[in-house]
């Protein structure tokens, strides 16, 4: 992957006192941060799912079809694991600029500190810095990018990664049951060697918050993403019926969203919904997204059970290598990955 190095937004804001917003960050009027009302996304109770409540399962099925997003409460990840992860994400972005630079992304690698998919000089830039780390399977961990200046960072991320993965594994069992698919089929593709990556997002405040975007509109390319809001500042928005709606995360909840691969697995029954993040005029914002994808051995395509006949499949079936190629080329060319997966 080719990626152009861009300055840290955090460092820029510190240097200028936030007075100056370079043109590369200013969005055209039609992309401006207008919203309408609030989106009360469905709330799913993890404990009730674990107890096998039919109603809760049906509720999640509808949430995945109608919203592509839900809040997960009573998720059973211990508070100290969540708090440990939050403290270390905060701690990383509080390190001196020179220290953070040691973890800067390198050409051809996703891991590290910086910004992903900056490919042209005239591309509008996101008002954010990120730390992206591959976390599972464990042999994907590139510790060269895991900050060692914070005493607990590695163990906090290790614990968080495992806890979130077990939640996702269980949610995928529920997905399978809701779809009438053998849970083993999904477990085989996504369970033991399923891929997980964690992205820590740092959005500095911006004096022209309504003219910049923290995270450009996108859909996630994975199966399921779990987003944790780190501080009290909201910013996530989802697009629904053509309008942007802010999401207000509940205290202690995870925001869960359906990604492109789950839309493909379900042959379009579940929706991978476009979302973005906006920034605050005065306060910084932090969030942590954990992305979950199938193992490198799994074929990405509609599950057999989701298509009665070969010609009913809306999407192609491709192997991991082809998936990676298509994924990167669509990102680099700013094209929709889902469109490219559509059968002609």
Ligand X SMILES: O=C(O)CCC(=O)C(=O)O
Q: What residues make contact with ligand X under the rule CB under 6 A?
A: 199, 201, 215, 220, 227, 235-236, 275, 277, 287, 289
Query: Which lies closer to ligand X via its Cβ, residue 236 or residue 300?
Result: 236
Q: Are 59 and 66 in contact (CB under 8 A)?
A: no
Q: Closest residue (Cβ) to Fe ion?
A: 220
Query: Which lies closer to ligand X via its Cβ, residue 288 or residue 303?
Result: 288
> Is residue 284 at the binding interface for Fe ion, with CB under 5 A as the rule?
no
DSSP state, 287? E
DSSP state, 151? T
Of 32-40, 139-147, 155-163, 216-224, the window that binds Fe ion (rule: CB under 5 A) is 216-224
Query: Which lies closer to Fe ion via its Cβ, residue 21 or residue 63?
Result: 63
The whole-angstrom separation of Cα 119 and Cα 101 is: 20
Q: How far is the CB of 101 from ligand X (least distance, A)?
A: 22
Q: Are 317 and 294 in contact (CB under 8 A)?
A: no
Query: Which lies closer to Fe ion via its Cβ, residue 85 or residue 128?
Result: 128
Query: Which lies closer to ligand X via its Cβ, residue 187 or residue 233?
Result: 233
Of 56-64, 183-191, 220-228, 306-314, the window that binds Fe ion (rule: CB under 5 A) is 220-228
Q: DSSP labels for 118-133?
A: ---TTSPPPS-EEEEE
End-to-end CA distance of the chain: 27
Contact of residue 189 among Fe ion, ligand X, none (CB under 5-8 Å per partner type): none
Q: How far is the CB of 215 from Fe ion (least distance, A)?
A: 7
Contact of residue 236 among ligand X, Fe ion, none (CB under 5-8 Å per partner type): ligand X
Query: Which lies closer to Fe ion via its Cβ, residue 111 or residue 220?
Result: 220
Best CA proximity match to 41, nearest among 275, 294, 212: 275
Q: Which residue has the tokens 């802010």?
A: 246
For residue 274, give Cα distances in angstroms to 88, 217, 236, 238, 271: 28, 6, 11, 6, 9
Q: Quick one: angle between helices 153-179 and 183-190, nearest 10?
A: 150
The whole-angstrom separation of Cα 227 and Cα 291 is: 9
Q: Are 268 and 274 in contact (CB under 8 A)?
A: no
Query: Which lies closer to Fe ion via its Cβ, residue 220 or residue 284?
Result: 220
Contact of residue 165 among Fe ion, ligand X, none (CB under 5-8 Å per partner type): none
Q: How far is the CB of 188 from Fe ion (least distance, A)?
A: 26
Q: Which residue in 56, 111, 169, 220 binds Fe ion (CB under 5 A)?
A: 220
Q: How far is the CB of 214 from Fe ion (least distance, A)?
A: 11
Q: Is the peptide bond before 134 cis (omega within 30 degrees of 0)?
A: no
Q: Which residues bind Fe ion (CB under 5 A)?
A: 220
């Amino acid at each position: 992957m080719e990626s152009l190095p861009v300055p840290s937004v955090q460092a820029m804001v510190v240097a200028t006192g936030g007075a100056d917003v370079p043109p590369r960050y200013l969005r055209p009027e039609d992309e401006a941060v207008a919203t309408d009302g609030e989106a009360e996304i469905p709330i799913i109770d993890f404990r009730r799912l674990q107890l096998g409540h039919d109603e809760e399962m049906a509720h999640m099925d509808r949430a995945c079809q109608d919203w592509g997003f839900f809040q997960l409460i009573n998720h059973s990840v211990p508070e100290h694991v969540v708090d440990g992860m939050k403290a270390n994400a905060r701690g990383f972005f509080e390190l001196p600029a020179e220290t953070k630079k040691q973890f800067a992304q390198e050409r051809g690698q996703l891991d590290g500190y910086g910004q992903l998919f900056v490919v042209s000089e005239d591309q509008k830039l996101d008002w954010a810095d990120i730390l992206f780390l591959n976390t599972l399977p464990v042999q994907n961990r590139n510790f060269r990018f895991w900050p060692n200046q914070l005493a607990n960072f590695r163990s906090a991320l290790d614990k968080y990664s495992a806890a979130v993965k077990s939640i996702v594994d269980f949610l995928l069992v529920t997905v399978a049951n809701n779809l009438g698919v053998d849970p083993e089929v999904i477990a085989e593709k996504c369970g033991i060697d399923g891929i997980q990556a964690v992205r820590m997002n740092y959005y500095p405040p911006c004096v022209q918050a309504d003219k910049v975007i923290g995270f450009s509109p996108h859909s996630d390319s994975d199966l399921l993403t779990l987003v944790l809001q780190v501080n009290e500042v909201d910013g996530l928005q989802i697009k629904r019926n053509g309008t942007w709606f802010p999401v207000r995360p509940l205290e202690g909840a995870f925001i869960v969203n359906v990604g492109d691969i789950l839309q493909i697995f379900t042959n379009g029954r579940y929706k991978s919904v476009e979302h973005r993040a906006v920034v605050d005029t005065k306060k910084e914002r932090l969030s942590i997204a954990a992305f979950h994808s199938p193992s490198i051995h799994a074929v990405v395509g509609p599950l057999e059970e989701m298509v009665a006949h070969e010609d009913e499949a809306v999407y192609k079936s491709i192997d991991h290598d082809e998936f990676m190629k298509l994924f990167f080329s669509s990102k680099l060319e700013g094209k929709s990955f889902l469109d490219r997966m559509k059968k002609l």
